[in-house]
Structure 1
């Protein structure tokens, strides 16, 4: 069954509303709960992430590695991470990402990914730009299984 696709952008002042789940399921706490095996989802099925826009370097919590079915110590490039998104989901994500950076707006998008073990999974991507003055310098947010 395909979940109802969620796709929208929101102004930065709404960030606390969209990140409430991140406060309830503190990703720093869930990091101490290792998965039983590579690709096994941690207890809360959620992870934090950040992308430095100067070089597209990714920083992921363990939960994001779990979502993609990758070892927690893997060196993952943004290009590699994007390749796990199914084609339609990747196109929507890239479009909203560009809009988010240009207009300094957060976004929420439900996407389908194919994990490293070729398992299809739906994931909610919540992203917000980190701004320095009038320029976005990073994106960060949550990824969770839906």
Structure 2
């Protein structure tokens, strides 16, 4: 039988302890460099435990008793639904998850946090959720800025085709499509003649003018986008009725007929319009909606009339 020397055992245990304490000390020194904290939740009692870093993220005092229902209310509606969905799946499958979520602190400050979660349990049952939470607000803002720049038309300032394509590429009846009511397409008639007669600078001025008028007129639009050389798309919410949409379009066309000033000249825009309504039950396909609106635009340009249906 091998005998373990107690002195060697004590030395080994002491070395392990020193290493752990050294790691914890290093963690304490590094933690302030990155807004991060640890958390756990006992599933039997729903009792939360947070380190100071998580309290700081949520803008809550460290001596405040944690109530899970109250903290969940600090999440945005979309983030809250995703969190509950991923949480339930993790508990059922005894698995982990990662989620970027938006919270609104009690002081009204918006923050983005990245939640990393794992599970712990016994006898095939999940008993505890635990993990880390990191404040990624600055990273998120930089990412949103880069995305906005990548999806902005540099001439007119409205969204570009890439942004509109993201709408088209969404699956039918996806969560982002629930509030879509109408897609409207605008196309400048005889745009090539404007460029040929007045020059491309005049053509650019017409595009900028049309984009600005669309943006000001449709203040509640989900999206105003330049999707082609002289073609624009406007995506309206379902709260705008079909009758209201037609009335507003008639008023807009009359407004667009007012000449615009350019280098001492008056230029008049002639614009054709095509539109399509999403189903009243909210069920539709983005590409089908676009095809319908595009066909209406084609008919309007050929007939030189404003579509009525």
TM-score by length of 2: 0.35
Which structure would you say has the larger RCO, counting Cα contacts within 8 Å and 6 or more residues apart?
A: 1
After superposition, the Cα gap between the structure-2 partners of 1:97 and 1:27, relative to the gap in structure 1 and judged at 3 Å, is: farther
Residues 1:62 and 2:52 are matched in the alignment: yes
Give the aligned length: 114
Q: Compute the displacement of 1:120 (Å).
A: 0.6
Looking at CA atoms only, which structure, 1 or 2, has the larger radius of gyration?
A: 2
- Hey, which of these two has a bigger chunk of strand by percent? 1
Residues 1:142 and 2:140 are matched in the alignment: no
Unpaired segments ≥5 residues, structure 2: 1-22, 137-309
CA distance in 1, matches of 2:24, 2:94: 25
What's 1:107 paired with? 97
Q: Compute the displacement of 1:30 (Å).
A: 3.2
Residues 1:83 and 2:73 are matched in the alignment: yes
- Hey, which of these two has a bigger chunk of helix by percent? 2
CA distance in 2, matches of 1:43, 1:109: 22
What is the root-mean-square deviation in Å for CA atoms of aligned residues? Answer: 2.3
CA distance in 2, matches of 1:139, 1:131: 9
Over 4 Å off, 4+ runs: 25-28
What's 1:30 paired with? 28
TM-score by length of 1: 0.72
What's 2:42 paired with? 52
Residues 1:122 and 2:112 are matched in the alignment: yes
What's 1:13 paired with? none
Q: Compute the displacement of 1:84 (Å).
A: 0.6
Unpaired segments ≥5 residues, structure 1: 1-24, 34-41
CA distance in 2, matches of 1:56, 1:77: 8
